């Protein structure tokens, strides 16, 4: 990797991350991580709960507004209204991505964050580029669309192949562009996302350690079915918590697919993910009704007892064991970079 020691901004104090994750996976018959660890320290302000993002000290809302979904309403003004209403009521974590709706989600969010809203938001977006050149271009395009001079958290998107970490950390790879952007003040924190297999996440963390780098945040699927199949909760979550890396939960309902199993209700899905040591649970909100559902989940949330967690996992086990409701793991349906390999550079 073409990053000098003086450019390293975060040093990992641990090694053997893959081994640690695999060791955690051997405890499949033990109670899930959610039952053994308390919910992160949190504070309530108004309608929202806030938790700390890893070691950054940033206070972010326990619910994050999913960027893909704000691009779904046909009326742009409806997407803008969703963003502003969410912020007005306390959701400050804004998720987005360079490729969502061919940039349309970033454009909408950029418009929504005008008029003082940018200063109230913790803004995250993602890039697909694996080369320094493509990543640099995408970072600048995202800044332009979002109408801002800084991104609070920039993440490498769709780390879903075993070779993705190698490309990111290679000489002339995307990490060089991201660190350069951070040094220039364009971004504040660095993370990565993925949804395919926990082993890919562990390899990304391990390769980061080899390069004397520690991520500020990691995004991954955390839901009531994940614990039973290729589990990020069991294999990756303990590693992140141990190293005080911010945990961004996503796909709590699997883009509604988990609800199709008829084993669990939406608020139960949100409560389960919130009960884990997540900094935020990013959820798709494309209507005011779903926004109200998210606030209801926050209003009614209390740490779940061990019995409640076990009962919920028992209820979802038979539907979950083959991954048929976690299509992001078992199919290419959610793999936007597989459909558009040119985005990788």
Residue 14's pLDDT is what? Answer: 34
pLDDT at 13: 33
Instruction: Give tens-digit pLDDT for 45-55.
Output: 999 999 999 99
Residue 303 has pLDDT above 50, yes or no: yes
Residue 169: CB atoms within 10 Å: 21
pLDDT higher than threshold 90 for residue 301: yes
Instruction: State the average pLDDT over residues 178-183.
Output: 98
Listed in order, strand segments (DSSP E) in 263-311 are 280-283
Integer angstrom CA distances of residue 245 from 64, 74, 286, 299: 17, 37, 29, 26
Reply yes or no on whether the pLDDT at 27 is more than 50.
no
Has residue 231 got a pLDDT over 50? Answer: yes
Phi-psi region of 46 (alpha: psi -120 to 50; beta: other; left: phi over 0): left
Q: Which sign, positive or negative, has the C-alpha torsion 111, 128, 60, 304? A: positive
Average pLDDT over residues 17-32: 44
By three-state DSSP, how is residue 218 classified? strand
Residue predicted with more confidence, 318 or 17: 318
**In angstroms, rounded to a whole number, what is the distance separating the alpha carbons of residues 22 and 69?**
34
> Which of 63, 56, 128, 54 minimizes the C-alpha distance to 89?
63
- Residue 115's Cβ-count burial label (10 Å; 0-12, 13-18, 19+) is exposed
Query: Which candidate, 245, 203, 165, 262, places its Cα nearest to that of 20?
Result: 203
Comparing CA positions, the residue from 125, 245, 240, 227 lying closest to residue 178 is 125
pLDDT value at position 223? 97
Residue 247 phi/psi, 5° resolution? -105, 120
Gap between the Cα atoms of 147 and 237, Å rounded = 34
pLDDT the model gives residue 65 = 98
Question: What is the C-alpha separation between 344 and 129, in angstroms, rounded?
Answer: 4
Segment 243-256, tens digit of pLDDT: 999 999 999 998 78
Which residues on neighbouring strands pair with residue 321, listed in sequence order?
none
Query: Of residues 115 and 33, which shows the higher confidence score?
Result: 115
Tokens 């084993």 belong to which residue? 263
Instruction: Tell me the two tokens of residue 285.
Output: 């909100």
- pLDDT (average), residues 106-125: 98
Q: Would the pLDDT of 15 be above 50? A: no
What is the predicted pLDDT for the residue at 37? 55
Q: How far is CA 219 from CA 95, 115, 177, 272, in A?
A: 11, 29, 20, 16
Query: What pLDDT, in 10s, does the model give residues 119-166?
Result: 999 999 999 999 999 999 999 999 999 999 999 999 999 999 999 999
Mean pLDDT of all residues in the chain?
90
CB 55 within 8 A of CB 216: yes
CA R_g for the chain: 19
Most confident of 28-32, 198-202, 323-327: 198-202
Provide the pLDDT for residue 277.
96
pLDDT of residue 23: 47
CA atoms within 13 A on the CB side of 54: 25
The confidence score (pLDDT) of residue 38 equals: 52
> Quick check: 35 pLDDT over 50?
no
Banded model confidence at residue 76, pLDDT cuts 50, 70, 90: very high
User: Is the model's pLDDT at 236 over the cut of 50?
Assistant: yes
The per-residue pLDDT for 169 is 98
pLDDT digits (tens, 9 = 90+) for 202-222: 999 999 999 999 999 999 999
């Amino acid at each position: 990797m073409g990053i000098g020691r003086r450019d390293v901004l975060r040093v990992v104090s641990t090694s053997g991350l893959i081994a640690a994750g695999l060791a955690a996976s051997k405890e499949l018959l033990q109670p899930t991580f959610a039952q053994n660890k308390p919910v992160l320290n949190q504070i309530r302000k108004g309608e929202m709960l806030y938790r700390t993002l890893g070691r950054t000290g940033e206070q972010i809302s326990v619910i994050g507004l999913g960027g893909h979904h704000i691009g779904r309403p046909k009326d742009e003004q409806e997407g803008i209204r969703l963003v502003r209403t969410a912020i007005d009521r306390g959701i400050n974590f804004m998720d987005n991505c360079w490729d969502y709706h061919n940039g349309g989600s970033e454009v909408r969010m950029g418009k929504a964050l005008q008029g003082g809203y940018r200063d109230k938001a913790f803004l995250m977006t993602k890039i697909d580029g694996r080369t320094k050149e493509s990543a640099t271009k995408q970072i600048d395009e995202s800044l332009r669309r979002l109408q801002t001079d800084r991104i609070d958290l920039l993440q490498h998107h769709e780390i879903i192949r075993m070779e993705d970490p190698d490309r990111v950390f290679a000489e002339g790879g995307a990490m060089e562009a991201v660190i350069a952007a951070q040094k220039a003040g364009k971004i504040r924190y660095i993370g990565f996302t993925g949804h395919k297999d926990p082993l890919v996440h562990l390899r990304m963390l391990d390769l980061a350690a080899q390069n004397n780098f520690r991520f500020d945040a990691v995004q991954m699927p955390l839901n009531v079915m994940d614990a039973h199949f290729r589990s990020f909760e069991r294999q990756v979550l303990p590693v992140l918590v141990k190293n005080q890396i911010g945990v961004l939960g996503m796909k709590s309902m699997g883009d509604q697919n988990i609800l199709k199993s008829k084993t669990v209700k939406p608020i139960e899905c949100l409560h389960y993910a919130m009960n884990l040591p997540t900094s935020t649970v990013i959820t798709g909100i494309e209507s005011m009704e779903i926004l109200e559902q998210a606030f209801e989940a926050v209003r009614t949330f209390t740490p779940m007892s061990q019995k409640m967690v076990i009962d919920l996992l028992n209820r979802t086990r038979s539907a979950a064991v083959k991954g048929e409701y976690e299509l992001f793991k078992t199919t290419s349906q959610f793999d936007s970079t597989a459909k558009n390999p040119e985005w990788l550079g």
